[in-house]
Amino acid sequence: MSVLVLRAPLAGWCLPLEQVPDPVFAQRMAGDGLAVDPTGGVLHAPCDGEIVLMKNAKHAVTLRAAGVDILMHVGIDTVQLGGQGFELLVAAGERVRTGAPLLRFDLDQLARRAKSLVSPIVIASGGGIARRAAAGTVAVGDFFMEIAAVAAPSTSTTTVPDETRVFVVPFDHGLHARPAAQVAAALRPFVAEVTLAARGRSANARSTVALMTLGARCGEEVEASAAGADARQALDALAMLLSPKASAAPPVKETPAIPPRIEAAIASRGLAMGPCVPWTAPEIAVEERGAGVAQETQALETALAAVVAALEALQRDARGEMHALLAAHIELARDPELRERASAHLNRGHGAGHAWRQATRATGDVLLALDDERMRERAADLRDLENQVLRVLAGKPPGTTREFPPGAIIVADDLLPSQMMALERARVGGICTARGGTTSHAAILAAAAGLPALVAAGDAVLGIAEGTPLGLDAEHGWLDVDPSPAERSTLERKIAQRRTEGAADLAAAAQPATTRDGVRVTVNANLGSFAEVASVVAFGAEGCGLLRTEFLFLDRRAPPSEDEQAREYQRIAEGLDGRPLAIRTMDIGGDKPIAYLPLPHEENPALGLRGIRASLAHPQLLRDQLRAILRVHPAGACRILLPMVTDVADVRFVRTMVEAAVRELGLARVPSIGAMIETPASALLAPSLAAECDFLSIGTNDLSQYTLAIDRGHPQLAPRLDALHPAVLRLIAMVADAAHARGISASVCGALASDVDALPMLIGLGIHEVSATGAAIPRLKRMARTLDAGECRELARRALEQSTAQAVRELAAVARAHARGHYIAPVPSIQSGG
Ligand code: PEP
Ligand code: MG
């Protein structure tokens, strides 16, 4: 029997477990140990070991060392904080050394919000305590406990169960530390081997830590299997804690009745008709035990190589966001840490599929626990990659997990970018999601791919049976379920008409757009990376009105160097072949945190250190970016656009930096500097900003979010987040007027710029330049050519008088109807007086 010495993981006051204000810990249900009332905000490793993390929780860390699980639970009842105030510094499966920082927590926040700060540190399994520190002050690294280690109980069993029952988790916060300890304690009087299975994984029910890592949430089913003489009694004991299925379970979310027409928000305009295909990725079964380490290792290597080859082949034909996502998947498939985690499982005798699944899921769990939208997307990418490799191991092609019938309309709860990628490959007709927002990543991808998409349709869509004919109208914003023959033929006629128009629009896309009465309308493209440049040029973009440079800054460990940025901007400028290019400085921070910037955790990131504020807090990063932009040749090829400006001080400060960089680089001229108008403050101050800037660009995504006080990713409120809301239009009008008074341009670059219905209003408000998603450009140009700017002004005047977005939309629909066929007949309701 070996001895394991634990060093104090927290600074503070050490106390016996009996003094912990929680009966589960005080009665040692989670294990024997000590507690610390902390005075410092960092939890450290008490010894060398491997990290085990709970799903969706950041308030506790388990360290596995020499067959012993040491559970360190910061505070009491802290699960209900949902991770707020905690920052995990390690990943599941990571090996750490004694003293390594594991978890940072905000002592003040915990003191205010948690039941108690007292933090139990218990031996959840695998050893008995031989010696422990006395009550009193401890510093990190002081002697804490000595454990006589014994072998850890097996976390899986191959025994055939004698009895199986399905329960429902009744605990508010799922199977977290306290209930898991209660389950383990309830089984102590019995000898039966008991496992609980949930979410495709199983765990030894006697191990608190293993149960926690299942991540079973309140209301979810868990299957309990018991084998041994008292199997039935053991399950009876569990029944005292867990709810039997379909009895005391919390109410299951009901799928509402399906109406014949379901209203939804438009994420990507277009029409589609096709069979319903509910999006579900079936779980692929894997064998836990392998046929030998060498054989399984070889199988995994071969499968990974096949997947990488398939991804690379796809990447060769992909463009834009798809290209970038495929690159991310290839990187993940080659990731050394993932492979290391998988080989740890292979070396334990596990099968290739099991090892790969464990590795991807452990990493995915850590990403999910980070409570960050982009990281959740990466977790979904991992899930995709898991499936691709498992498919190859099962002798199938790696590609999509589903075969889609032609024209399929994919119906999903929500779609992640990686899932979008699979959809395009299958050439689906359209997408409708129950949740999601109109400016979400997936929505931007759908628009870039020209795929009609509706979001925020509500749970009713999830009840539509596979194969049901659907009519998706992402022009009006509804989904017709099993439309009548008459409705079908109307929609089919419209689809055919759009197809013909689309071909004609594309043929004329390279021509400039001028209204019938001679007003020139410039249609630029928004870009997110070099990969999109060729396609937007083919769509007729006259330049780039917004290059989102975040692609260079996110998902990496160190910021891009000035040289790397200069190279990237240069090739984009060259791809645009002399067309103007507005480069937006990094819009990071807030909900786009980056690992190498120590930005604080924020309660409300949309109102925090984001955009230009984050840049000004890290002037060296901004300086490097500005220099990289200035180095693009020919000199002056790029304009500089500043995100999230709220007043002139931001612009003045950056201008001083640009001027300094111009001097350093020996350039002759300061390039054009513009501000994005994305907040009511900047719109209201547009006259002052116009005096300081060379151009203004209105970001209607954020401007609507801040004006209407609706989170741009909010699923339920998505239909109300309409940039044609008269309050937003009034702000746009103020900006356009201020820009005209100063003789500078004001363009629109938010999603509203890609909305053909909005174009007449924008032209009427005096916006003669837009920057849109590439696929929308041909249609926008055609629309502009059919318009009369005088009529548009009258239309805009009437729109500004409206009091709801709905009323503005109705006016826009009238204008659209009259613009059809390259002709606007005089519209009595919107006709100008002269
Ligand atoms: C906007 O807010 O409208 C905008 C164009 O910026 P982003 O969507 O990148 O926040
Ligand atoms: Mg914005």
pLDDT digits (tens, 9 = 90+) for 303-325: 999 988 888 887 777 666 667 67
Q: Is 548 in the pocket of ligand 1 (CB under 6 A)?
A: yes
Which pLDDT value is given to residue 825?
A: 36
Protein residue closest via CA to atom 9 of ligand 1: 548
Is the per-residue pLDDT at 233 higher than 70?
A: yes
Spatial CB neighbours of 103, under 8 Å, sequence gap ≥ 6: 42, 43, 58, 61, 72, 74, 86, 87, 88, 89, 90
d(CA 115, CA 10): 19
Spatial CB neighbours of 727, under 8 Å, sequence gap ≥ 6: 707, 708
Is the per-residue pLDDT at 641 higher than 90?
A: yes
CB-based contact 56:369 (threshold 8 Å)? yes
Q: What is the DSSP string of 358-390?
A: HHHHHHHHHHHHT--HHHHHHHHHHHHHHHHHH
Q: Is 700 in the pocket of ligand 1 (CB under 6 A)?
A: yes
Which pLDDT value is given to residue 159?
A: 53
Is the per-residue pLDDT at 286 higher than 70?
A: yes
Could you tell me the distance, in angstroms and rounded to a whole number, from the CA of residue 832 to the centre of ligand 1?
33
Atom of ligand 1 nearest to the CA of 546: 5
The CA-based angle 746-751-753, given to 5 degrees, is: 45
Which of 321, 445, 548 best tests ligand 1's pocket when mutated (most atoms within 8 Å of CB)?
548
- 218 is a catalytic site residue: no
Spatial CB neighbours of 721, under 8 Å, sequence gap ≥ 6: 265, 437, 438, 439, 704, 705, 708, 710, 712, 714
d(CA 765, CA 782): 19
Q: Is 125 in the pocket of ligand 1 (CB under 6 A)?
A: no
Which pLDDT value is given to residue 731?
A: 98
d(CA 708, CA 645): 18
- HSE (side-chain half, CA atoms, 13 Å) at 834: 3
Is the per-residue pLDDT at 612 higher than 90?
A: yes
The CA-based angle 236-242-246, given to 5 degrees, is: 100
- Each residue's pLDDT tens digit, 436-447: 777 666 677 788
d(CA 763, CA 757): 11
More confident residue, 269 or 702: 702
Protein residue closest via CA to atom 1 of ligand 1: 699
Protein residue closest via CA to atom 8 of ligand 1: 701
Active-site residue, selected from the candidate residues 276, 638, 749, 792: 749
Q: Is 747 in the pocket of ligand 1 (CB under 6 A)?
A: no
Could you tell me the distance, in angstroms and rounded to a whole number, from the CA of residue 797 to the centre of ligand 2?
26
Which pLDDT value is given to residue 248?
A: 36
Q: What percent of the chain has pLDDT over 70?
A: 88
Is the per-residue pLDDT at 202 higher than 90?
A: no
Q: Is 127 in the pocket of ligand 1 (CB under 6 A)?
A: no
Is the per-residue pLDDT at 821 higher than 90?
A: no
More confident residue, 379 or 470: 470
Which of 587, 613, 707 best tests ligand 1's pocket when mutated (most atoms within 8 Å of CB)?
587
Instruction: Residue 543: name the closest of 587, 512, 502 by CA.
Output: 512
Which of 373, 702, 708, 749 best tests ligand 1's pocket when mutated (most atoms within 8 Å of CB)?
702
Atom of ligand 1 nearest to the CA of 750: 3
Mean pLDDT of 201-221: 79
d(CA 697, CA 771): 9
Which pLDDT value is given to residue 48?
A: 93
Mean pLDDT of 799-816: 92
Q: Is 384 in the pocket of ligand 1 (CB under 6 A)?
A: no
Mean of all residue pLDDT scores within the chain: 85
Q: Is 568 in the pocket of ligand 1 (CB under 6 A)?
A: no
Protein residue closest via CA to atom 6 of ligand 1: 699
Which pLDDT value is given to residue 178?
A: 73
- 693 is a catalytic site residue: no
Terminal-to-terminal C-alpha distance of the chain: 98
Q: Is 528 in the pocket of ligand 1 (CB under 6 A)?
A: no
Is the per-residue pLDDT at 366 higher than 90?
A: no
Q: Is 699 in the pocket of ligand 1 (CB under 6 A)?
A: yes
Is the per-residue pLDDT at 153 higher than 50?
A: no
- Each residue's pLDDT tens digit, 446-501: 887 788 999 889 889 988 998 999 999 998 889 999 999 999 999 999 999 988 98
Q: Is 701 in the pocket of ligand 1 (CB under 6 A)?
A: yes
- Each residue's pLDDT tens digit, 74-104: 988 888 777 888 888 888 888 999 999 999 9
Positions of E strands within 643-797: 673-677, 695-698, 745-748, 769-772
Which pLDDT value is given to residue 794?
A: 96
Which pLDDT value is given to residue 180?
A: 80
Instruction: Residue 304: name the closest of 329, 328, 281, 282 by CA.
Output: 329
Is the per-residue pLDDT at 270 higher than 80?
A: yes
Protein residue closest via CA to atom 4 of ligand 1: 699
Asked whether the bond before 406 is cis by omega within 30 degrees of 0, the reply is no
pLDDT band at 155 (very low <50, low <70, confident <90, very high): very low
Is the per-residue pLDDT at 384 higher than 60?
A: yes
Which of 524, 526, 554, 701 best tests ligand 1's pocket when mutated (most atoms within 8 Å of CB)?
701
Q: Is 321 in the pocket of ligand 1 (CB under 6 A)?
A: no
- Each residue's pLDDT tens digit, 501-545: 889 999 999 999 999 999 999 999 999 889 889 999 999 999 999
- Each residue's pLDDT tens digit, 242-266: 876 643 334 444 456 788 999 998 8
Which pLDDT value is given to residue 528?
A: 87
Active-site residue, selected from the candidate residues 323, 350, 441, 618: 441
Spatial CB neighbours of 220, under 8 Å, sequence gap ≥ 6: 168, 169, 174, 198, 199
Task: Tell me the two tokens of residue 189.
Answer: 């009087």
Which pLDDT value is given to residue 336?
A: 84
Q: What percent of the chain has pLDDT over 90?
A: 46
Comparing 116-120, 208-212, 758-762, which segment has the lowest mean pLDDT? 208-212
Could you tell me the distance, in angstroms and rounded to a whole number, from the CA of residue 644 to the centre of ligand 2?
7
Q: Which helix (H) or strand (E) holds 6?
A: strand 2-7
Compute CA 594 distance to the chain's CA centroid, rounded to the nearest angstrom: 14
Comparing 477-491, 678-692, 724-738, which segment has the lowest mean pLDDT? 477-491
Selection from 63-67, 125-129, 229-233, 700-704 with the highest mean pLDDT: 700-704
